[in-house]
Structure 1
Amino acid sequence: MMALSELSEVVKGQLQGEDATFAAVSTDTRTINPGDVFFALRGERFNAADFVAQAAEKGAAGVVVDAPVDIPVPQIQVADTRIALADFARAWRAQSDSKLIGITGSNGKTTVKELTAAICRVAFGEDRVLATQGNLNNDIGLPLTLLNLRDNHAVAVVEMGANRPDEIAFLAGIAAPDVAIVNNVARAHIEGFGSIEAVAQTKGQLLDNLGAEGTAVLNRDDAFFADWSARAGAATIVSFGHHESADVRAENIQPVVRRGAPAFSFDLVTPDGRAAVALPLAGRHNVSNALAAAAAAMAVGASLDDVTAGLATARSVPGRMRAFRHSSGAMIFDDAYNANPDSVAAAIRTLAEFKGKAWLVLGDMGELGDEAVEMHRETGRLARESGAEALFCIGELGREIGAGFGPGARWMKSMDELERELRDELVPGRNVLIKGSRFMALDRLVAALEETPEGNEGEA
């Protein structure tokens, strides 16, 4: 429990009304509990100040607002409620002794987070690991995650995302990571950054405040590895990847099938020795994600045995190369959460590794700026060169993917048409990749294909 007067001091606000204690923080009146303090945040499409009365009715101990409101509960007035939330999370994190692993990168953040947390739960205990829920990795989600830190947590594993310059610097300043993973850089959010170099620069901000006692976990295979290594300063650098000089690397990588679903086996090579790993995830890029997780977990004290045991429990995240067998016998690869040219290329390569005929369902990729049309055509050409037999595309830019692919591409006007046409083509021996940017909502198509119990068999 904490007093509103203490919170007011931390966030540099003014407490109006009687002091009271609160148990937790909420930014959503739909999930607020009695005794919580409610932060009334503003966004481009919402103003939570409109809901403070509802928060009061649901038993809020107090509210944090940027303008006075007429409600019968204490209120803390601040200049900016988002900054106040960040300030509170920063102060809360500063008094915690938990080791914190911060993760950023263009692709794979959530998967690396889940794998790292899985290893740490084996190493330290289920209840001693805090991890970002879902992909709550922005200036609201990260503070809310950190405010769940408790004395029993040995490790916190948090992800940080950005679609504009300097966002990672702000988030890293709140989280103060002991271990920083920069997973990779890809052509994502180019519209907001201007160039891939600017993306790399922003991702590298996670390294700026590590200090001599910190550890930088860096992708040895990435073109920006040298830049990030220099930026890490006095921190210990642990490299991961497929490069022969990587500190944590994979050898003898083999695609396999386990419990009817695509998986990988490989030899994990680390400074502490080597071990055989069974990774129940599809996609060679997930081997790289597993290497990042292993390096980070070992940096906070996990053993090699903890790593192999943790990775063996891995479960793919919905929308991120999750494989399941449809009732028709076709294998569906659900990679529908998001997309950029490099993540689509990785997914296409994954499909090419498995027996069977490759079919692709691809939608628009967002935030690519002036090169969007050419990048979509490039994706179509890559799909053709990979040996894919057919392509279904949807969206205005998806049409450009079809143009790059050429004969065998079909452009769909609607999700209903796409579902109807695709269902007619689902047969045994056919592997179907579904991928597009979040706004394309291809997860709806995936959900429609999981309509039977048989559709869940073999889930990775």
Structure 2
Amino acid sequence: MIGSQSLNSLAQNLNPTVKEALIEFSSISTDTRSLKKGDCYIALIGDRFDGNDFLEVAAASGAVAVICSRAVDIKIPSLVVENTQLTLSAIAKENRVRSGATLIALTGSQGKTSVKEMLGLILSRNGKTLTTKANLNNTIGVPLTLIELTGEEKFAVVEMGANAKGEIARSVDVTKPNIALITNANSAHLDGFGSYEGIVQAKGEIIDGLGRDGVAVLNANQKSCDKWVERAGSKTVRLFSYGMRNKSADYQCSLARFNPAGDISFDLFCPQGELSITWPLLGEHNVENALAAAACALESGVSLEHVKEGLMRMRPIPGRLYSNKGINSCTVIDDTYNASPSSFHAAINVLASQGSEETDRTILVVGDMLELGGKAEMFHKRLGAEARSAGITDLWAIGVFADSIVKSFGAGGVSYDQIEDVSAECVKAAQPGVIFLAKGSRGSRMERVVDVLMVTDN
């Protein structure tokens, strides 16, 4: 945190019940297991936990004060509020106001984490940079990220996810970004948004959080782009276009070139100049991610040289099209972090592109895509048909929609009842010239297939 805040100032703004309000704090904790002496403990409430149950533990662990939503008799100062999550956001918002960092906020159905990592590598070449840790991108994770600002940062990159309308609006209100990026809007989390149009509206909430001098960086290849541009109104808009499909875009990129060595080359065309990049990340979608990161970085004032240096340092992220040698010299592409129709499309294209004269089989190991609402059956059938059309030789599926996927794939498709069964079949098939790609939503836990295929150190 930057400086200190007090229970007294929070009490004045929130009008809660307060005991010994003059106490000040300069660090917070929401977990008594990692709480340090001198922290202010905030008792958050979730579906499976209630931080109010650990107030005495916090006091015994050295907390200087607690912020809670249930009155309790403890020996340290306390602030009783109606909603502790909103209080966390208030603390984070004040900390953001105190920071002079140029802050880039980003959202989208896919690509958020990859773009965040790319931006971190680019911007850190030009100054201290704070980036969202792991997947702390929800309405709790965003405030926790902002509280990490120390005042020394030149840049900050904050990832924003959402499962329902209004969540990004709450996150961006706390964040006050200088630059807002929407990578894309695709059919993911339909249960929470109701429709594709609901997703477009929700992602657009990030634009509303920009100040008068803010910059919206938008994907010109998206059919929803015009709606976002209209939403930006008089704010500055910068467009990017992968494959140079939109000639009016400010930032352009060539199509990816797949090299015999297995890496990818591409060219960026920006108002500031041109760049040629060769890197080991798989997939055209990652080239589009690089273009988005470059656009945001250049809009924040960094040089083309730093953009190239940062992108050249980017390496594949485990769980996101992460390629490794497996048992019996097979190849395993781990894309198990999550799944949606659009990310499956990218994964299928990657697997198809790996085929060569030395490749005997390309095996797509599929788990269910979750949170697709009433269109789930349609999307899973489409997945199987797309894999067949792309030339994938085998598709092995598990889950509620396994039979639908396999039926639409046709010959070479097999459905399994248990993850152990498909894993065992993968082990039998593993040999040189065989490439596996495993993917499914988090609830499918497809990483278990990857685990049995990987070489273990003895």
Normalised by the length of structure 1, the TM-score is 0.93
Matches within 5 A, 1:76-87: 76-87=79-90
Determine which of 90, 95, 99 is the counterpart of 1:92: 95
Matches within 5 A, 1:444-455: 444-453=448-457
Cα distance change on mapping 1:256 and 1:71 into 2, 3 Å: farther
Determine which of 341, 362, 378 is the counterpart of 1:374: 378
Aligned to 1:224: 224
Amino acid at match of 1:417: D
Q: Report the alpha carbon displacement of residue 452 of structure 1 after superposing the two structures with TM.
A: 2.1
Cα distance change on mapping 1:122 and 1:447 into 2, 3 Å: farther
Aligned to 2:265: 265
Aligned to 2:447: 443
Aligned to 2:257: 254
Cα distance change on mapping 1:323 and 1:370 into 2, 3 Å: same
Aligned to 2:26: 23
Q: Report the alpha carbon displacement of residue 173 of structure 1 after superposing the two structures with TM.
A: 0.7
Q: Report the alpha carbon displacement of residue 453 of structure 1 after superposing the two structures with TM.
A: 4.7
Aligned to 1:457: none
Q: Report the alpha carbon displacement of residue 449 of structure 1 after superposing the two structures with TM.
A: 3.0
Matches within 5 A, 1:400-415: 400-415=404-419
Query: Which segments of 5 or more consecutive residues in structure 1 lack a partner in the other structure?
Result: 455-460
Q: Report the alpha carbon displacement of residue 49 of structure 1 after superposing the two structures with TM.
A: 1.0
Determine which of 110, 114, 118 is the counterpart of 2:113: 110
d(CA) in 1 for partners of 2:53, 2:365: 41
d(CA) in 1 for partners of 2:139, 2:15: 18
Q: Report the alpha carbon displacement of residue 256 of structure 1 after superposing the two structures with TM.
A: 2.9
d(CA) in 2 for partners of 1:257, 1:335: 22
Secondary structure (helix, strand or coil) at the match of 1:122 reads coil
d(CA) in 2 for partners of 1:154, 1:11: 31
Q: Report the alpha carbon displacement of residue 95 of structure 1 after superposing the two structures with TM.
A: 2.0
Aligned to 2:164: 164
Q: Report the alpha carbon displacement of residue 21 of structure 1 after superposing the two structures with TM.
A: 3.4
Is 1:354 paired with 2:358? no
Cα distance change on mapping 1:22 and 1:212 into 2, 3 Å: closer
Aligned to 2:332: 332
Q: Report the alpha carbon displacement of residue 197 of structure 1 after superposing the two structures with TM.
A: 0.8
* 8 Å CA contact 2:25, 2:64 repeated in 1: yes
Percent of pairs with identical residues: 38
Matches within 5 A, 1:38-49: 38-49=41-52
d(CA) in 2 for partners of 1:217, 1:286: 17
Amino acid at match of 1:444: R
Secondary structure (helix, strand or coil) at the match of 1:63 reads strand
d(CA) in 2 for partners of 1:425, 1:389: 13
Secondary structure (helix, strand or coil) at the match of 2:337 reads coil
Amino acid at match of 2:346: A
* 8 Å CA contact 1:10, 1:87 repeated in 2: no
Amino acid at match of 2:365: V
Amino acid at match of 2:250: D
Q: Report the alpha carbon displacement of residue 263 of structure 1 after superposing the two structures with TM.
A: 3.0
d(CA) in 1 for partners of 2:429, 2:54: 48
d(CA) in 1 for partners of 2:331, 2:221: 30
* 8 Å CA contact 2:39, 2:64 repeated in 1: yes
Aligned to 1:458: none
Aligned to 1:200: 200
Q: Report the alpha carbon displacement of residue 419 of structure 1 after superposing the two structures with TM.
A: 1.7
d(CA) in 2 for partners of 1:9, 1:443: 49
Aligned to 1:282: 282
d(CA) in 2 for partners of 1:65, 1:257: 59
Determine which of 388, 397, 401 is the counterpart of 1:393: 397
Q: Report the alpha carbon displacement of residue 399 of structure 1 after superposing the two structures with TM.
A: 3.0
Cα distance change on mapping 1:88 and 1:23 into 2, 3 Å: closer
Moved more, 323-332 or 170-179: 323-332
Alpha-carbon displacement from aligned partner over 1:114-145 (angstroms, at most 9, x marks no partner): 11111101122xxx100000111001100000
d(CA) in 2 for partners of 1:208, 1:191: 24
Moved more, 397-406 or 418-427: 397-406
* 8 Å CA contact 2:20, 2:77 repeated in 1: yes
d(CA) in 2 for partners of 1:431, 1:247: 38
Q: Report the alpha carbon displacement of residue 446 of structure 1 after superposing the two structures with TM.
A: 2.4
Aligned to 1:322: 322
* 8 Å CA contact 2:332, 2:454 repeated in 1: no
Amino acid at match of 2:241: G
Secondary structure (helix, strand or coil) at the match of 2:204 reads helix
Determine which of 429, 435, 438 is the counterpart of 1:434: 438
Q: Report the alpha carbon displacement of residue 257 of structure 1 after superposing the two structures with TM.
A: 6.1
d(CA) in 2 for partners of 1:407, 1:103: 41
Cα distance change on mapping 1:215 and 1:31 into 2, 3 Å: same
d(CA) in 2 for partners of 1:376, 1:369: 12
* 8 Å CA contact 2:327, 2:430 repeated in 1: no
Cα distance change on mapping 1:11 and 1:336 into 2, 3 Å: farther
d(CA) in 2 for partners of 1:423, 1:56: 52
Cα distance change on mapping 1:312 and 1:4 into 2, 3 Å: same
Determine which of 8, 13, 17 is the counterpart of 2:16: 13
Alpha-carbon displacement from aligned partner over 1:235-269 (angstroms, at most 9, x marks no partner): 222111222423222225212366xxx43111111
Secondary structure (helix, strand or coil) at the match of 1:6 reads helix
Q: Report the alpha carbon displacement of residue 329 of structure 1 after superposing the two structures with TM.
A: 1.9
d(CA) in 1 for partners of 2:291, 2:12: 42
Aligned to 2:183: 183
Amino acid at match of 2:105: G
Aligned residues: 448
Amino acid at match of 1:45: R
* 8 Å CA contact 2:65, 2:76 repeated in 1: yes
d(CA) in 2 for partners of 1:152, 1:136: 21
Alpha-carbon displacement from aligned partner over 1:405-456 (angstroms, at most 9, x marks no partner): 12211222222222211111112222211110011111233234334259xx
Q: Report the alpha carbon displacement of residue 112 of structure 1 after superposing the two structures with TM.
A: 0.7
d(CA) in 1 for partners of 2:429, 2:390: 20
* 8 Å CA contact 2:221, 2:246 repeated in 1: no
Aligned to 2:427: 423
d(CA) in 2 for partners of 1:115, 1:453: 30
Amino acid at match of 2:432: P
Q: Report the alpha carbon displacement of residue 296 of structure 1 after superposing the two structures with TM.
A: 0.4
Aligned to 1:342: 342
Q: Report the alpha carbon displacement of residue 12 of structure 1 after superposing the two structures with TM.
A: 4.2
* 8 Å CA contact 1:211, 1:233 repeated in 2: no
d(CA) in 2 for partners of 1:26, 1:354: 46
d(CA) in 1 for partners of 2:287, 2:67: 44
Cα distance change on mapping 1:7 and 1:215 into 2, 3 Å: same
* 8 Å CA contact 2:8, 2:21 repeated in 1: no
